[in-house]
Chains A and B, each alone.
Chain A
Amino acid sequence: MTATAAEAEELVSRLLGGDRRALARALTFVENGDPVGRQALSLLYPKTGRAQIAGITGGSGTGKSTLTGQLAKEYRRRGRSVGVVAVDPSSPFSHGALLGDRIRMQELTADRDVFVRSMATRGELGGLAATTGDVAAVLDAAGKQVVLIETVGAGQDEVEVASAADTTVVVLTPGGGDGVQAMKAGIMEIADVLVINKADLAGVDALAAQLTAITPRDTHVPVIRTVATRNEGTAELADAIDAHRQRLESSGERERVALDRARRQVLAQARLQLLAGLLDSESGRARLDQLVKAVAARELDPYTAAQRLLDSAGGEPASTT
């Protein structure tokens, strides 16, 4: 057995034994794309699929963290253990990130059956959705019965992240032209549940009317009003999330969704591994630079360049360490 496999095995057995430091460490390995993380994930995978995963997405400052914290407490009241993954953007300049979602989830830290993990969006290879899904899977394998994933719903990446969930909750607020914004960003299409948070502010009815007008009548997308700061509407939201999942189960749609998701995961991983295989070596990166220059200089078109990049892969084994 390799050292990596041994380390992964030891980590996984501690994790499954309830060691929370091992869980935290496993999440780090997975997030970093470390070989130990990959091995750990493959050992844990058979134990996944039991958690109910909900994505909480919406514009910045709409109250997602506050709501996620309240929702976690609501599920705890219902006797279910909870994992939270809170994703915030990395700075494109420094690659650093300020992860502040825990500020709104303070009360959760006293509860051993809640595990909160902050994550930065990091890389540019479109791996965020995959990583978030893997992080959720580890929490799932660790026995968390509900996993809540908070993301800022601003771009395609976040839309994809939401697709790792059984149920996607889109959070809007009154007054900010949020409804229109959300439609433009294409996040209305992914909403299984709509939330109007900050329902204590003016403009709630107007937003609700707007939402009713744009959601097709034959879909069951409920609109829930919440005041997260006062814990109002949280129980209704938890009910709506559970009802959606129930509907998926009873209509048999959950199977289709699971297949869809698995297909996306396999393809995303294949894409990532292919790219990693191409670019992990010095010579691979040099080859890319060379092709990029040629495309920028209009000596080569992007399609041919991509083809040549792929062709050049055969010469060299992809590094796995």
Chain B
Amino acid sequence: MTNERPTRVLIAKPGLDGHERGAKIVARALRDAGMEVIYTGIRQTPEMIAEAALQEDVDVVGLSILSGAHAELFPRVVAALKERGVVPEEVLFFAGGIIPDEDIPALKELGFREIFRPGASTRDIVEYVRQWAAERASGGEATGKP
């Protein structure tokens, strides 16, 4: 029972837009897939998100954005996370929302391992996170602590 500890995920919405439907749907889907999802609500500053990720010791940080402010906000969120020792080498960062093709490379460079655009289904997201968690769990057992 103890070795099968649930994956902990933070779903956060940076920025000023108040559309949280997408984020809530993803949060519920991850919950239904057996994960523990910390949902912090709308209008989160980069510091609030990073603080929540730190205090909750999450395995995964998922950011949702619709306002198009990702180019400005995501680097600040990642900087605030790294400042607190929450780094993409240990924690899965992913993002979802309206993000144009040309911005993807920069986001990947920042440490976001996957970007889900409006075409992606929640099932894709859940499957992706689940896969990542499973790989990490087996990798961790095979190679020991890094």
**Chain A residues in contact with chain B, CB under 8 A?**
20-21, 24-25, 27-28, 32-34, 90-91, 94-100, 102-103, 106, 109-110, 115-118, 120, 122-123, 125
- Other-chain contact of A33, B2, B40, B47, B86 (Cβ < 8 Å): B2
Residues of B within 8 A of A109 (CB): 47-48, 51-52
In the complex, residue of chain B having the shortest beta-carbon distance to the beta carbon of A24: B57
Docked pose: A212 CA to B67 CA in angstroms: 52
Is B40 a contact partner of A106 (Cβ separation < 8 A)?
yes
Residues of A within 8 A of B76 (CB): none
**B1 at the binding interface (Cβ < 8 Å):** yes
Is A102 a contact partner of B36 (Cβ separation < 8 A)?
no
- Interfacial residues of chain B within 104-135, with CB under 8 A of chain A in the complex: none
In the complex, residue of chain B having the shortest beta-carbon distance to the beta carbon of A86: B38
Residues of B within 8 A of A27 (CB): 57
Is B37 a contact partner of A117 (Cβ separation < 8 A)?
no
Majority DSSP secondary structure for residues of B touching A: mixed
In the complex, residue of chain B having the shortest beta-carbon distance to the beta carbon of A31: B5
Residues of B within 8 A of A116 (CB): 52, 55
In the complex, residue of chain B having the shortest beta-carbon distance to the beta carbon of A110: B47
| Known interface pairs A94-B34, A96-B35; 6 further A-B residue pairs with C-beta atoms within 8 A, sorted by A's residue number | A21-B57, A95-B34, A96-B31, A97-B31, A109-B51, A120-B6
- Other-chain contact of B54, A24, A33, A95 (Cβ < 8 Å): A24
Is A103 a contact partner of B40 (Cβ separation < 8 A)?
yes
Docked pose: A102 CA to B5 CA in angstroms: 22
In the complex, residue of chain B having the shortest beta-carbon distance to the beta carbon of A111: B51
- Other-chain contact of B55, A20, A33, A90 (Cβ < 8 Å): A20
**Are A96 and B30 CB-contacts (below 8 A) given A33-B2, A109-B48, A110-B47?**
yes
List of 9 A-B pairs having minimum Cβ-Cβ separation, nearest first = A103-B41, A24-B57, A96-B31, A109-B51, A96-B34, A33-B2, A21-B85, A109-B48, A28-B57
- Other-chain contact of B38, A34, A115, A118, A123 (Cβ < 8 Å): A118
Binary per-residue interface labels of chain B (1-37) against chain A in the complex, 1 for a CB within 8 Å, 0 otherwise: 1100110100000000000000000011011111111
Is B41 a contact partner of A94 (Cβ separation < 8 A)?
no
Docked pose: A34 CA to B1 CA in angstroms: 11
Docked pose: A173 CA to B127 CA in angstroms: 41
In the complex, what's the smallest C-beta–C-beta distance from A73 to chain B, in angstroms?
Answer: 15
Is B37 a contact partner of A96 (Cβ separation < 8 A)?
yes
Is B36 a contact partner of A96 (Cβ separation < 8 A)?
yes
Is B31 a contact partner of A100 (Cβ separation < 8 A)?
no
Is B33 a contact partner of A94 (Cβ separation < 8 A)?
yes
Residues of A within 8 A of B6 (CB): 95-97, 120, 122
Docked pose: A99 CA to B31 CA in angstroms: 9
- Other-chain contact of B41, A91, A98, A106 (Cβ < 8 Å): A106
Is B38 a contact partner of A99 (Cβ separation < 8 A)?
yes
Residues of A within 8 A of B38 (CB): 99-100, 102, 118
Is A24 a contact partner of B31 (Cβ separation < 8 A)?
no
Is B39 a contact partner of A99 (Cβ separation < 8 A)?
yes
Is B48 a contact partner of A106 (Cβ separation < 8 A)?
yes
Docked pose: A94 CA to B6 CA in angstroms: 10
Residues of B within 8 A of A94 (CB): 31-34
Binary per-residue interface labels of chain B (46-67) against chain A in the complex, 1 for a CB within 8 Å, 0 otherwise: 0110011011110000000000
Docked pose: A288 CA to B54 CA in angstroms: 40
**B84 at the binding interface (Cβ < 8 Å):** yes
Residues of B within 8 A of A106 (CB): 40-41, 44, 48
Is A96 a contact partner of B57 (Cβ separation < 8 A)?
no
